[in-house]
Amino acid sequence: MAADTKQYDELAKRYGFAPVPESVSRLTQLVAQQYADLDEIAAVIQGDPVLTKRLLRVVNSHATCEAEYTIDTVEQAIMRNGMGGALILAMGTPLALALQKAFQTMLGLKLEQFPAHQLVGVNGEHMRGSIGFAGKVNGHVYLRMTLQSARTVAAGIFGCKPEEMTNADEIRDAIGELLNIMTGNFKSNLCDSGLDCKLEPPKVGITDDYSTPIERGGGIERIAFRSGAIHPFVEVTANPWNG
Amino acid sequence: MALKILSVDDSRTIRLIVGKAFKPYECDMVEATNGEEGLVVAAREKPDLIILDVTMPVMDGVTMLTKLKADDALKGIPVIMLTAESGRENVLHIAKLGVRDYLVKPFKDDQLIEKAGRVIPLQKKPVPA
């Protein structure tokens, strides 16, 4: 195992892989052990201000600002949300990083993350992509955006103007590929931490349904982004230890 | 003679991006949408380089690579993996099978060209007068 790790580290360096943040990697490894020590998990989260902020936002989902939080410590949040919540937290980071990197490299756009409850105009028909994953952890990743955003994103990827993007299949393929890139990155992190799982093929289509089924006994995290008029919206649902 | 590059990916978007990246260079692109098709095209076209995805329907990239390396007529074709997956087990397995490089999606055109240029002698097309 140690030899494998050393060999992998050498290959990762040679191939130029971007590393997952140490705190996220450690958190996923801890949560992958079903009976992990909650104090140890709390310590990892407390050591990372970004993870702490996200956990508190998830457990105080009805609050519109930090002053309204009723749960304000990591320990309370973990007691309330359980290990599943910590896993969702660990999974959200690689997803968010992968989407931000995809927008930066493929479209030259900087995506800014912002609180999901501030998302306005989330109604009506929109483009929804989803990928299921199954194994020692089961769940789904959803990527949603307005039809105009989807057209603009696809045009950026194909290097043409949005009005030239008239082929619906090409728009769906481009959004499906963004989803593939996001989930491929986070699946690698889960598998490396012992939560082996396989991805299902992406499904992309137009819908007016904003409901998100949550896995039984699992949790959900919503991550909203914006870059100009483009507002992609990611949801991840998961229930670990089904394997 | 122009070099021949085979792009194997189920996503039309990625095949298109790969094709665009090599457009300024003296090379012909051929495509396949899964590993099974990729083996057929590789046998027929004898490409100078294969750009290969991992997760695809019908036959995935790891299976295609395994079959390619077991075929005396095809095993010498260099392969660069182009995938969103960089999990330890996959990477170690693929490295053992023998690939020249590994590029994780999302990627920039120039990253792909730089890696390809280390494997095959890419030449820019002359600028029209």
Q: Which residue has the higher pLDDT, A80 or A243?
A: A80
Contact list, B107 vs chain A (CB under 8 Å): 105
Kindly tell me the sign of the dihedral angle through the C-alpha atoms of B26, B30, B34, B37.
negative
Q: Crossing angle, helix A74-102 and helix A38-46, to 10 degrees?
A: 50
User: Rounded mean pLDDT of B45-74?
Assistant: 96
Q: How buried is A39 (Cβ within 10 angstroms: 0-12 exposed, 13-18 middle, 19+ buried)?
A: exposed
Kindly tell me the sign of the dihedral angle through the C-alpha atoms of A163, A166, A172, A178.
negative
pLDDT tens readout for residues A104-123:
988 888 999 887 777 665 67
Q: Which residue from A minimizes the CA distance to B104?
A: A17
Q: Crossing angle, helix A74-102 and helix A49-59, to 10 degrees?
A: 110
CA distance B10 to chain A (A): 10
Could you give the C-alpha distances from A160 to A166, A180, B53, B67, in angstroms and in order?
A: 11, 22, 25, 38
User: Rounded mean pLDDT of B41-50?
Assistant: 98
What confidence category does residue B37 fall into, taking pLDDT thresholds of 50, 70 and 90? very high
Region of A217 on the Ramachandran plot (φ > 0 left; ψ -120 to 50 alpha; else beta): left
What confidence category does residue A240 fall into, taking pLDDT thresholds of 50, 70 and 90? low
User: Rounded mean pLDDT of A30-54?
Assistant: 84
Of A170, A181, A192, the CB nearest to B106: A181
User: Rounded mean pLDDT of A58-86?
Assistant: 81
pLDDT tens readout for residues A165-180:
989 999 999 999 999 9
pLDDT of amino acid A243 = 42
Of B11, B84, B92, the CB nearest to A4: B92
Strands B3-8 and A219-226 turn out to be: unpaired
Residue pointed to by tokens 């999974």: A91
Q: Give me chain A's average pLDDT, please.
A: 84
What confidence category does residue A78 fall into, taking pLDDT thresholds of 50, 70 and 90? confident
> Does the pLDDT of residue B6 top 90, yes or no?
yes
Q: Looking at A19-28, A192-201, B22-31, B118-127, which range is the least confident one?
A: A19-28
Contact list, A187 vs chain B (CB under 8 Å): 85, 87
Q: Is B93 on the interface with A (CB under 8 A)?
A: no
> Does the pLDDT of residue B114 top 90, yes or no?
yes
What confidence category does residue A241 fall into, taking pLDDT thresholds of 50, 70 and 90? low
ipTM of predicted assembly, 2 dp:
0.84
> Does the pLDDT of residue A217 top 80, yes or no?
no
Interface probe with B: pick from A8, A95, A131, A167, most Cβ of B within 10 Å: A8
> Does the pLDDT of residue B129 top 80, yes or no?
no
- What's the predicted TM-score (pTM) here? 0.85
Beta-carbon separation of B11 and A180 below 8 A: yes
pLDDT tens readout for residues B67-111:
999 999 999 999 999 999 888 888 999 999 999 999 999 898 999
Q: Which residue from B minimizes the CA distance to A98?
A: B106
Biggest CA-to-CA distance, chain A = 55
What confidence category does residue B119 fall into, taking pLDDT thresholds of 50, 70 and 90? very high
Asked if A55 and A85 touch (Cβ cutoff 8 Å), the reply is yes
Which SS3 state, helix, strand or coil, does residue A113 take?
strand
Q: Which residue has the higher pLDDT, A88 or A143?
A: A143
pLDDT of amino acid B43 = 97
Contact list, B86 vs chain A (CB under 8 Å): 12, 15, 17, 185, 188
How is B88-112 classified by DSSP, letter by letter?
Answer: HHHHHHHHHH--SEEEESS--HHHH
CB count in 10 Å sphere of residue A186: 26
> Does the pLDDT of residue A77 top 90, yes or no?
no
Interface probe with B: pick from A1, A6, A7, A15, most Cβ of B within 10 Å: A15
pLDDT of amino acid A96 = 86
pLDDT of amino acid B22 = 96
How much of chain B, in percent, has pLDDT values that exceed 70? 100
Of A4, A17, A105, the CB nearest to B106: A105
